[in-house]
Every structure is written in C-alpha cells, then in structure tokens.
Amino acid sequence: MSGTFSPSSPPSPEPTQGFLRACLRLPVAETPLWLMRQAGRYLPEYRQVRAKAGDFLSLCKNPGLATEVTLQPVRRFGLDAAILFSDILVVPEAMGMSLRFSEGEGPILDNPLRDRAAVDRLRIPDPETALGYVMETVARIRRELPASVPLIGFSGSPWTLATYMVEGGSSKGFRWIKAMMYNDPGTLHALLERIADSVAAYLNAQIRHGAQAVQIFDTWGGVLTPQAFREFSLAGMARILSRLERRGSDGSRVPVILFAKGCGTMLEAMADTGCEVLGLDWTTPLDEARRRVGDRVALQGNMDPAVMYADAAVVRREATAIIRAFGANPGHVFNLGHGMAPDMDPERVVELVRAVRETSREILANPR
Amino acid sequence: MSGTFSPSSPPSPEPTQGFLRACLRLPVAETPLWLMRQAGRYLPEYRQVRAKAGDFLSLCKNPGLATEVTLQPVRRFGLDAAILFSDILVVPEAMGMSLRFSEGEGPILDNPLRDRAAVDRLRIPDPETALGYVMETVARIRRELPASVPLIGFSGSPWTLATYMVEGGSSKGFRWIKAMMYNDPGTLHALLERIADSVAAYLNAQIRHGAQAVQIFDTWGGVLTPQAFREFSLAGMARILSRLERRGSDGSRVPVILFAKGCGTMLEAMADTGCEVLGLDWTTPLDEARRRVGDRVALQGNMDPAVMYADAAVVRREATAIIRAFGANPGHVFNLGHGMAPDMDPERVVELVRAVRETSREILANPR
C-alpha cells in the first residue's frame, strides 16, 4: 500500500530539509532530531504561556498561543522539526464527546461509549469546521517557521483514541474496552473505523494546511496480544494510511511516522503498512530493528527518555552510542523513545542536540 | 547454572502434584493452574478478613489471617497451587527502610535511597527473625493445605524492589533509579547485590519452612533497554538463582519461576539463568515462546487478565485457545499474564478452571 498515488503522478521533488530527507531515506550530512513532547512543561517559557491560556485545552484551542509554544523549542534548541502543539483527544471531542482536563487526574471524556448505539451517534467531523482551530494553528505555525524547519502534524491511533473514548479517560486495566473487544468485537470495529475515517480526514486537512509529515501515536497498542494488535490497532492505522493524501500542496511527499509504544515485537507488521518511518521506544535496539525491517522504512528514535535525568556527560555518551549503533546508513531520525517529562532540565536538550550533531556529522562523513 | 546441587546429590523423588510436575516438564493428565493475585480484593471473603486486619500491611504480618486469605481461593476454586499471601516490599522493610501503605496512593518507603552511604546502611536481614512472621505464615499454610496442593513462595526481583527503594514508592518515570543507573551504576550494583543476597536468604527460608516452588516477580524489568535489563535486572535474578537451595526439606526439587512483565524479547536470556519455569505476560504467544526457548524450561501463562472482564463464554473460548496453542506437550502451567484485579468477578474464575481442566484433559489424552 502506498496511499493515493496514481501511476501518472509526477515524481516528488527531493526535499532539502534534513528531517524530511531522513524520513525518505535520502542522504544527510547530520542526523536530524526532534523530541516527542518537545513543547511542554519542562520549558519555563511554555509554563508562562500556559498560565496565560488558563487550562490545557484552552491552550490547544488558541491558535496564537499554540503556535507560540510549538515554536519555542525550535527557537531555543534549533531542532530539525516542529510538531504541532495539540492533544490527541480533540478528535473524540470533534466526534461528539465532551472533553475536559481535570488538574492532576488527566483527561475525562463524559458518557464513555459502551454500546453500539453510542458508537453510531458519533459523527465523522469535517476538520475544517469542527477542528478549524487546529487548521488555523497549523497554517500559522507554517507561516512563522523558517522554511528549513518542517512541521509535523499528528493524531492518536484509532485504538489509542478508542481506549479513552470507551474508558472515559486514562486507564490502567482497560476494563471496558477489553470487555467490548472480547464480547462484542463488531461494535469495537465499528468504532475503530469511524475513528480511522475521522483521523484520516483530520490528517489530510493538516497536510493541506501545511503539515509536511504526520505521526500517528499508538500509545496503548502494547496492552494487546499480538493477534489483537493486528486486528484492533494495526488495521486502524493501515486504514488511515490507505486514505491519506501523501503529497503536500507543493507536490512533495508527506512521510508518515508510526509510533507504537511497547510494540517492539510488531515492527515487521508495522513496516508492512506502507508508512515511511517507524518510531521506536527504547526497548528495541536500533540495529536489531534495522535487521528486522530491512530498508523498507526509516527509523526514528530511540534514546531512553530517562537519560535526560542523568548528567550531561551521560546524555552525550548515550546519544553517541545510538548514533554509532545506527552507523553511516540513510534513514535515521533521532528522537527519544517517548516524550520529554515536566521535571526534565532543558539544559540536557542543549547537550543532546550538540552530541547528535557532532557525532552524526563525523560518522556520516566517514562511512566505513 | 543449576543452584547448589552437588554431583553426589541423590536423585529427587518425582512429585505427584500436577503443578510441580508441570514445572519440571513431567507428564500430567490435566494442565495445572493458579492465578497471580488469586488471593485478593475481588473475593468477598478476602475483603472480610482484610477489614478485620485493618490495613494491608497488618494483614501481611498476621500469620493467622494471611494463612486464611492464602487458602480462600484454593478452597473456593480448587486451584492447583497456593501462593503465599504477602507483599514484595516486606524485604526492603526488613533491610531497614520504613514502609507504609497509604489508601489510594500505594506503598511509600520513607527516606528513599539516593546515594552510596544510604545503600551501605542497609542490612541483609536474617529472615528467621526480621521476617519471622512470613516464615510462620509459610509453615502454617503448609500445615493447613492438603498435601495435593503445593505452596508457592515468592519475592520481588532485585531491580523491581530497587525501583521502590530508590523512588520511595511506585513510579511512572523512574527518574531517580534511572539517574542512579546512568550516573552511578556502581551504587546501583551495590544495592542490587545487597537486595539479591537478602532475597536469596529470604526465599531459602521460605523453602525451609515449606514453600515447594518460588516465583520471582520482575514487574518493572520492561522499562529497561535490553542491555540494561541484562545488567541491572537479569544479573540480580541470576545471582539469587545461584544462591538458592533447590531442594526442599524432603529432598524434592524446588522449581523457580521467573516472571518478568513486558520482557517478551528477553525470554532466551531468562531461560539461560537455570530457572525451571518462565512466566509470560500475554504479549508473547505461548507457541512463539516455546519455539524460542525450546525445551529448556516450562512455561507459565498467559491469558490476557482482561479476559476476566468479558462474558463467561469468552473466558472459556480464550482459555481453550491457549491450551490448544500449547498442545499436548509437557511443561505448561496455566495462569493469567498478570494478576487478578479487584473489580473482577469470582464467577469467571469458576468458568476458567472448568475450561482449563476440560480442554487440557482432552488434549493431553489425545496427543497428535
């Protein structure tokens, strides 16, 4: 599967930005890097904007402020890509659910979905209206970013979004969605398809408004058996991929990054979806992943985020080890294996960027 | 490594109990089963005893009541093994830390260990005195259990115990222990060795008092990179294994079960420790695990515990599928891939026991 290309499509122009080049496995002089949750509470300038916005959801819905926090880490650290500041749960809200974030408790979706009738009442939202504030943010970020820095759009995976929609919020035991999966898989499939179609339209709109790559986050795929992962998580991501416009308005290829946390055993199946990039958590070594998926996809990752709690010298050592493990091959986007945490020190990011740049420049200039 | 056997040891008598036979890969007529956290809040009779004891830790420390809750699920469901009712954190307490359980917040260990001096102050406790209440409980359970039902002792793994001791309780980001691991691995190794030696003495005492098998729970090994898992989790478990008395007072072999949650990629390395049984979570199919570790070890598991939230017919279907996937081979102990949860229905266990018994009897009687 490779999306909606027709045989007569003209060849995409080769991008010049390192991040996009690495996603497409084109040669680069330095390994590009960005960080999951690079815009966030660990940055004092973020906390300032957040205080101005009030609650978290208001920040997501304010294009001016959401643009500002998206740009902050790019400015401060000189990262190679920006990622839209938003939340995966704006999609369930646009589908008709009521969303709020309670301080300390995390997200709450009222009236969680427990039966087919509730699923059938969900709408597939028009992203231009129901999620217009995201589109305005995407367009604004793209206008304010330098041309050298690509913008990544994103969404949660259907399975991951469904867990929140069925549980009513965060979960540990996944009681309700698993009961639905085991007792009434037809209803869950109906829900997952509706979410997948909503997400596909949402990501296509992000691409139209200026996103140059998109990442699908499957945060909770790791709680499934391999068989259930294929049926209830991977299938939904593949459905999105089959519906995505894989070219931006200027005709350039829009790479898709699949990131499924805790799914290291499923990499081969994920690479088969036709995505350009697999995002890895830190439990699968990059060289092992590369052996297993061959050169079908680029790899993104995968430093243990907890390294950021260690000394600067350790950050340098661990980043260097990952760059060396990947070697002088095309197709590596450096990232953490999961997001930055609020109690991490921004100075570690400075050290990380320096180490990734220096080591990769040296290695890529002297391939063995 | 196979523990402390000397070449002149007489051969162990073959056990008659299905659970012990399966652990040793001896033929059985029915697949034996027990459930992690089979004694717990989902049972009304447990909640009654718990209310009598007051807080959770008082229940652990009361041999009469701890015996009673250990026996409850064996009586109610006719399970094939009992597991000592206790908590993994009684070991850190015996090593000198102060432990309490706050309702809703989980365990708290005051003055978490953050440097070498704190680690050096820990003692390696004499289990007969510092953990005498556990030994009394083990002896009492063994006296009250029918001879046909073996008693499983247990402990947390050194890495898992260390996470609580360094974080001061439960953790999500493992900030402090990972900082120690990356910045000061020598201190963490010193801590892990001290814990391993304490656990080995503790499990040996459980065996002396009547435990006929022991399980080591590595609940948090899955948050490590494979390299760190080997160095900081597996090494500690191997150290315990090398120090365990692998025979009970009657000369019978005492199988060791290693259960590491979220460590499906590490099964081969775990099988190399010399344990008799690998406990699996539900993310690695049994047949795949069997291919990977061959016939070196028995396998325990591995139904998704969330199946217990589904209808009785689903419990039957999923249990049957697991028994069939394992086939008519020796060396399977049925279990869930993780523990029973407080909001599960005891009636599901009745259905599960019936399905495992019936299906396995049929399959084991008609090997292909």
Q: What does the pLDDT read at residue B278? A: 98
Do A186 and A115 touch, CB atoms closer than 8 A?
Answer: no
Q: Which of B367, B262, B86, B111 has the alpha carbon at shortest distance from A262?
A: B262
Count of alpha carbons within 13 angstroms of residue A195, beta-carbon side: 34
Give the C-alpha separation, B202 to B134, whole Å.
Answer: 9
Q: Which two tokens stand for residue A103?
A: 């301080």
Q: Is residue B176 part of a domain?
A: yes
Q: What does the pLDDT read at residue B343? A: 96
Contact between A182 and B309 using a beta-carbon 8 Å cutoff: yes
Amino acid identity, residue A236? G
Contact between A224 and B283 using a beta-carbon 8 Å cutoff: yes
Q: What does the pLDDT read at residue B368? A: 64
Q: Is A41 a catalytic site residue?
A: yes
Give first-to-last CA distance, chain B, whole Å. 34
Q: How many CB atoms lie within 10 A of CB B27?
A: 13
DSSP annotation of B282:
T
Of B228, B282, B307, the CB nearest to A182: B307
Of A283, A284, A311, the CB nearest to B183: A311
User: Does the model's ipTM exceed the 0.90 cut?
Assistant: yes
CA A309 to chain B, closest CA, distance in angstroms equals 5
Q: For residue B32, what are the contacts with CB-CB under 8 A and spacing of at least 6?
A: B17, B18, B19, B21, B22, B80, B81, B333, B334
Contact between B182 and A262 using a beta-carbon 8 Å cutoff: no
CA B53 to chain A, closest CA, distance in angstroms equals 27
Estimate to the nearest angstrom the gap between the alpha carbon of A215 and the chain centroid: 3
Residues of B with CB under 8 A from a CB of A: 173-176, 178-179, 182-183, 222, 224-228, 262, 264-265, 282-285, 304-307, 309-311, 314, 318, 341, 343
Give the C-alpha separation, A368 to B243, whole Å.
Answer: 46
Of A183, A311, A314, the CB nearest to B310: A183
Residue A271 pLDDT exceeds 60: yes
Do B127 and B145 touch, CB atoms closer than 8 A?
Answer: no
Q: Which two tokens stand for residue A114?
A: 């427990």
Q: For residue A129, what are the contacts with CB-CB under 8 A and spacing of at least 6?
A: none
Do A290 and A302 touch, CB atoms closer than 8 A?
Answer: no
Contact between B226 and A283 using a beta-carbon 8 Å cutoff: yes
Length of chain B equals: 368
Give the H/E segment covering residue B336: strand B332-336
Q: Is residue B245 part of a domain?
A: yes
Contact between A283 and B222 using a beta-carbon 8 Å cutoff: yes
Q: For residue A250, what are the contacts with CB-CB under 8 A and spacing of at least 6?
A: A13
Look at the block and give the residue holding tokens 């179609």: A197
Q: Is A208 a catalytic site residue?
A: no
Give the C-alpha separation, A210 to A81, whole Å.
Answer: 13
Do B107 and B101 touch, CB atoms closer than 8 A?
Answer: yes
Q: What does the pLDDT read at residue B239? A: 98
Q: Which of A252, A255, A307 has the alpha carbon at shortest distance from A23?
A: A255
Contacts of A343 in chain B (CB under 8 A): 173, 175
Angle formed at CA A219 by CA A231 and CA A178, multiple of 5 degrees: 50
- Catalytic residue selected from A21, A25, A37, A194: A37
Q: Which two tokens stand for residue B78?
A: 């006719």
Give the C-alpha separation, B86 to B329, whole Å.
Answer: 33
Give the C-alpha separation, A167 to A174, whole Å.
Answer: 7
Give the C-alpha separation, B46 to A25, whole Å.
Answer: 58
For the segment A4-59, what is each residue's pLDDT rounded down to a tens digit? Answer: 444 445 567 899 999 999 999 999 999 999 999 999 999 999 999 999 999 999 99
DSSP annotation of B221:
G
Active site residues of B: 37, 41, 50, 87, 164
Range of lowest pLDDT (A273-277, A322-326, B104-108): B104-108
Angle formed at CA B15 by CA B23 and CA B295, multiple of 5 degrees: 30
Phi and psi dihedrals of A213, rounded to 5? -155, 160
Q: Is residue A5 part of a domain?
A: no
What CATH number is attached to the domain comprising B184? 3.20.20.210
DSSP annotation of B298:
E
Q: Which of B249, B106, B102, B240 has the alpha carbon at shortest distance from B169?
A: B106
Of A265, A284, A306, the CB nearest to B173: A306
Q: Which of B112, B115, B122, B100 has the alpha carbon at shortest distance from B198?
A: B122
**How many Cβ pairs closer than 8 A exist between chain A and B?**
92
DSSP annotation of A249:
T
Provide the percentage of residues in chain A whose pLDDT is more than 90.
92
Contact between B225 and A304 using a beta-carbon 8 Å cutoff: yes
CA B165 to chain A, closest CA, distance in angstroms equals 18
Q: Which two tokens stand for residue A136?
A: 């305005």
For residues A139-160, give the mean pLDDT.
98
Give the C-alpha separation, B96 to B279, whole Å.
Answer: 30
Range(s) of the domain holding residue A102: 18-365
Q: Is the peptide bond before A366 cis (omega within 30 degrees of 0)?
A: no
Residues of A with CB under 8 A from a CB of B: 173-176, 178-179, 182-183, 222, 224-228, 262, 264-265, 282-285, 304-307, 309-311, 314, 318, 341, 343
Contact between A314 and B182 using a beta-carbon 8 Å cutoff: yes
Q: Is residue A150 part of a domain?
A: yes
Contact between B284 and A265 using a beta-carbon 8 Å cutoff: yes
Q: For residue B129, what are the contacts with CB-CB under 8 A and spacing of at least 6?
A: none
Count of alpha carbons within 13 angstroms of residue A250, beta-carbon side: 8
Look at the block and give the residue holding tokens 């009513």: A168
Of B182, B226, B305, the CB nearest to A310: B182
Give the H/E segment covering residue B30: none
Q: Is residue A11 part of a domain?
A: no
Contacts of A179 in chain B (CB under 8 A): 306, 309-310
Which chain B residue has its CA at the smallest distance from A315's CA?
Answer: B182
Q: Is residue A251 part of a domain?
A: yes
Q: Which of A337, A340, A331 has the alpha carbon at shortest distance from A360?
A: A331
Do A173 and B341 touch, CB atoms closer than 8 A?
Answer: yes
Q: Provide the whole-model pTM.
A: 0.95
Contact between B265 and A284 using a beta-carbon 8 Å cutoff: yes
Q: What does the pLDDT read at residue A250? A: 83
Contacts of B284 in chain A (CB under 8 A): 226, 265
Estimate to the nearest angstrom the gap between the alpha carbon of A270 and the chain centroid: 15
Q: Which two tokens stand for residue A362?
A: 């040296």
Give the C-alpha separation, A69 to B179, whole Å.
Answer: 28
Q: Is residue B334 part of a domain?
A: no
Q: Which of B146, B139, B132, B141 has the alpha carbon at shortest distance from B68?
A: B141
Look at the block and give the residue holding tokens 């991008």: A15
Q: Is residue A65 part of a domain?
A: yes
Amino acid identity, residue B166? V
Chain A contact probe: residue of B265, B282, B309 with most A CBs at under 10 A:
B309
Of B265, B283, B314, the CB nearest to A226: B283
Mind listing the pLDDT tens digit of every residue in chain B (368 residues)? Answer: 344 444 445 566 899 999 999 999 999 999 999 999 999 999 999 999 999 999 999 999 999 999 999 999 999 999 999 999 999 999 999 999 999 998 777 999 999 999 999 999 999 999 999 999 999 999 999 999 999 999 999 999 999 999 999 999 999 899 999 999 999 999 999 999 999 999 999 999 999 999 999 999 999 999 999 999 999 999 999 999 999 999 987 889 999 999 999 999 999 999 999 999 999 999 999 999 999 999 999 999 999 999 999 999 999 999 999 999 999 999 999 999 999 999 999 999 999 999 999 999 999 998 76
Total count of domains within chain A: 1
Do B91 and B155 touch, CB atoms closer than 8 A?
Answer: yes
Give the H/E segment covering residue A57: helix A56-60
